[in-house]
Amino acid sequence: MTTDRIHFPQEFSWGTATSGYQIEGGDSNTDWWRFERDPDSGTVEPCGDACDSWNRYEEDLDIIQSLGLNAYRFSVEWSRIEPTRGAISQATLDHYRDVIASCRRRSILPVVTLHHFTLPLWVADAGGFENPDIEHWISDYARVVGEALGDGIGIACTINEPNIVALMGYLMASFPPKVSSWERFVDVNRVMRACHLAMRGALREGPGNYPIGFALSMQEYEAVDGGDDLVNSLRHEMEDEYLRSCDDDDFIGVQCYTKIFLDANGLVEDFEGERTEMGYLFWPQCVEYTVRRAAQFTGIPIIVTENGIGTNDDEQRIRYLGEALQGLKKVQDEGVDVRGYFQWSLLDNFEWTFGYRPKFGIVAVDRTTFARTPKPSAQWYGEAARNYPRSVAALS
Ligand code: GCO
């Protein structure tokens, strides 16, 4: 363990999260950009200019500051930093140094993700996560990021939802490279864990003593009508193997949105209960469930690196966040070491194959002018965070 050299922020991190591709705009040197142009991809619209946050990050940070939040999770784009193998863009690194400095000026902790779903074209063309060399490529990239940004990073996530990249890209065939194979899914999960370790090693060699971990997608699973075997094998691959491998990390990032039902044939779409815009079950209780589950596997600190709801109904969002925070309080009272909570997402942004329809943001973004308008939930969340746990006790 290297925890004594690690500096965890003293205060609980109250933040909101985004990712480069979903908000920056113009990340054209990626597998996703190309994928969106394939008529068979199933993507409803291209990402295009996204929220133009490449140019408007100061404005985004002003909003975060005005809400009284003390942390911001965003991602840096490999495709911009290393547009072709070994060619590093200093201008891009300078840009991200500015973003980090802009956070610091506002006393906002910069929580930096290095890989959030997208690959540079040169990596994708060489086989992406199925090329054994990816471990070297991605750790070289991490070394570059660590060297250039490490003195400013507050917390680092190496890979965002490695298990979702594997699931959606290699089993469900709905993200690039659109493969459907259990063996390849299992294999990519294994490669992901190796990539994380290599990246963590590279970051630790650089400046800074910030905590390093990865962000895992977790769910509450429920087996119905003979779904037990599927729940067990899927959860083994999607969660348990990852949770067993992270004891030497500084924290584990837990990301959760809902509860899913599986029968012997797969995902059950027909279930009772309130739904969100994504068709998910309205299930803020997933926070306490998944945090508790992560804590059963590992004793390292936990950060809820993503939780939120896609909805057009901001009242529903407020209700969701309120119940989610009540769950957070419960697990903290049980003694689980949780160090932060990041609401997904700051902005209404590009929701991958669903395009701009789902509204995960606490801030609306005009699709033509890019004007930002905080929703009532933004104010609500800021106040709930500032007054936690009093704010949450008042809800029950
Ligand atoms: C993910 C990603 C985000 C999504 C969010 C809402 O979990 O898929 O980290 O990019 O936008 O989860 O679906």
| Ligand 1 atom at minimum distance from 255 CA | 7
For residue 304, give the H/E element and its range.
Answer: strand 302-307
Angle between helices 134-149 and 182-205 (to 10 degrees): 30
Cα 49 to Cα 186, 252, 315, 363, distances in angstroms = 34, 32, 28, 17
Cα 360 to Cα 93, 311, 316, 378, distances in angstroms = 28, 6, 11, 11
| Contacting residues for 272 by C-beta, under 8 A, at least 6 apart | none
Is residue 118 within 6 Å of ligand 1 at its C-beta?
A: no
pTM, two decimal places: 0.97
Residue nearest to atom 4 of ligand 1 (CA): 351
Is residue 342 within 6 Å of ligand 1 at its C-beta?
A: no
Residue nearest to atom 1 of ligand 1 (CA): 161
The CATH number linked to 370 is 3.20.20.80
| Contacting residues for 132 by C-beta, under 8 A, at least 6 apart | 191
Spatial distance between the Cα atoms of 41 and 222, rounded to a whole number of angstroms: 30
Is residue 326 within 6 Å of ligand 1 at its C-beta?
A: no
Is 293 strand, coil or helix? helix
Spatial distance between the Cα atoms of 301 and 21, rounded to a whole number of angstroms: 28
Phi, psi torsion values for 301, nearest 5 degrees: -60, 150
- Which pLDDT belongs to residue 2? 46
Q: Are 77 and 24 in contact (CB under 8 A)?
A: yes
Cα 223–226–230 angle (5° rounding)?
Answer: 60
In the structure encoding, which two tokens stand for residue 18, read together?
């985004």
**CB atoms inside a 10 Å sphere around CB 330:** 16
- pLDDT values of the chain reduced to their tens digit, one per residue, 396 residues: 444 579 999 999 999 999 999 999 999 999 999 999 999 999 999 999 999 999 999 999 999 999 999 999 999 999 999 999 999 999 999 999 999 999 999 999 999 999 999 999 999 999 999 999 999 999 999 999 999 999 999 999 999 999 999 999 999 999 999 999 999 999 999 999 999 999 999 999 999 999 999 999 999 999 999 999 999 999 999 999 999 999 999 999 999 999 999 999 999 999 999 999 999 999 999 999 999 999 999 999 999 999 999 999 999 999 999 999 999 999 999 999 999 999 999 999 999 999 999 999 999 999 999 999 999 999 999 999 999 999 999 997
Is 4 strand, coil or helix? helix
For residue 110, what are the β-bridge partners? Answer: 72
Residue nearest to atom 11 of ligand 1 (CA): 351
Residue 337 structural domain: 3-395
First to last CA, the chain: 39
Domain count, the chain: 1
Identify which of 258, 286, 344 to mutate to test ligand 1's pocket (most ligand atoms within 8 A of the CB). 344
